[in-house]
Structure 1
């Protein structure tokens, strides 16, 4: 009877096909250590770059964007089998301190970020093939108001938290590490407004490259390294 029960479960998992396809073994995530432990850091656009937000045929471009955070103190700055997560401030988006221009004539955009419905976080994951950073935006954590010839409101993550991931590029003597979203990440949105607003759009594309600087000690850099804990020797 035990064998029959197991056979029935396998058949059900095979979705009625009678054969369960081979599934590769799941690889555990690498351990991660973020350092220096307890140091504060700031993210800002890589010099000479912009942050862009594309909704339908409308593109908002800002030359200033960033936020701040704190590397967890030891031992929380190490995760043996996954990312190290820390809370960051809501990201800011401006253009020379003011509204950001759009590609629509006589139209600008003002973006306000918040943590009303939860924290903004950054999860840094070490991988020997290329480390990554994943930022989480809480529900309705970014609201962009477009005004001018068009009057629209764009809410990011309207129905729940949203994440954006990109490569973590380690720092060098020439510059600090970079969190790179320049390939473009898709974010869920809701658009409200008049007939000229892209109210049918449900996603937007975000692009930016952020330099991450250690604000506790400018002579050091924020690092993402292997945090795997070696097993104790036998015997």
Structure 2
């Protein structure tokens, strides 16, 4: 593989980092609730929670991998009666997730991830329990350095929703597997400006920070 090819391949991987979004995302707009969605209740009402990455978040662009080992977001369950929806999902605001300790599978390229704006996570009871994390417009930006300097912006035109699953437990988990997010890449030589999407896989453990002896739970 030539140096030029390695540069383009490595920068394609950094485009995947914009998909974090815990990161993480499908479609160009936030996912809408199904027309015949069932009842959803998230408890305990009004409790704060913290979502912490377990293991590593793996982002893939072709055969190239970007791995991040640290990611955290916090949020809160809506107070009653907002924690119940008789015919659809329940949405909780979350802080923009932070991402750090990221590496690429190609030497010579590093990435810094910044997030901003109004993020949220919605839960829909079912089998499985589905989750959608919404990234606001331009809510994640990846700057690369090393072999080339590029800027990768996630959800560049509109909010984007990442499809995942929620599993009740002690603690419960929020998982994303191959979630897709639209991106826009700008920069000079070596930047993957033709990339329009990226994918990622990550699992977060969610703890109740209002009362650590309780668990955030999704039911009907």
Give structure 1 stretches of 5+ with no counterpart.
1-25, 227-235
Residue 100 (structure 2) aligns with: 94
**Alpha-carbon distance in 2 for matches of 1:87, 1:59:** 30
Query: 1:205 and 2:199 equivalent?
Result: yes
How much has 1:195 moved relative to structure 2?
Answer: 2.1
Query: 1:74 and 2:80 equivalent?
Result: yes
Residue 110 (structure 1) aligns with: 112
Root mean square deviation of aligned Cα: 1.5
How much has 1:104 moved relative to structure 2?
Answer: 2.1
**Alpha-carbon distance in 1 for matches of 2:61, 2:116:** 20
Query: 1:177 and 2:175 equivalent?
Result: no
| 1:43 aligned to which of 47, 51, 65 | 51
Q: Which has the higher contact order (CA 8 A, sep 6+)?
A: 2
Residue 14 (structure 2) aligns with: none
**What does residue range 1-235 of structure 1 map to in structure 2 within 5 Å?**
28-46=36-54, 49-55=55-61, 58-95=64-101, 100-115=102-117, 119-127=118-126, 129-171=127-169, 175-181=170-176, 183-226=177-220
Give structure 2 stretches of 5+ with no counterpart.
1-33
Q: Residue by residue, what CA displacement relative to the aligned partner does 1:53-77 show, whole Å, maximum 9, x if unpaired?
A: 3345543211001211000111111
**Alpha-carbon distance in 2 for matches of 1:207, 1:130:** 17
Question: Which segment is superposed worse, 134-143 or 54-63?
Answer: 54-63
Asked whether the equivalents of residues 157 and 188 of structure 1 are also in contact (C-alpha less than 8 Å), the reply is yes
Residue 22 (structure 1) aligns with: none
**Alpha-carbon distance in 2 for matches of 1:158, 1:54:** 19
Specify the structure having the higher radius of gyration (Cα). 1
CA distance 1:192–1:58, change in 2 (3 Å): farther
Asked whether the equivalents of residues 60 and 103 of structure 1 are also in contact (C-alpha less than 8 Å), the reply is yes
With normalisation by structure 2, the TM-score equals 0.81
With normalisation by structure 1, the TM-score equals 0.76
Q: Which has the higher strand share?
A: 2
**Alpha-carbon distance in 2 for matches of 1:56, 1:141:** 24
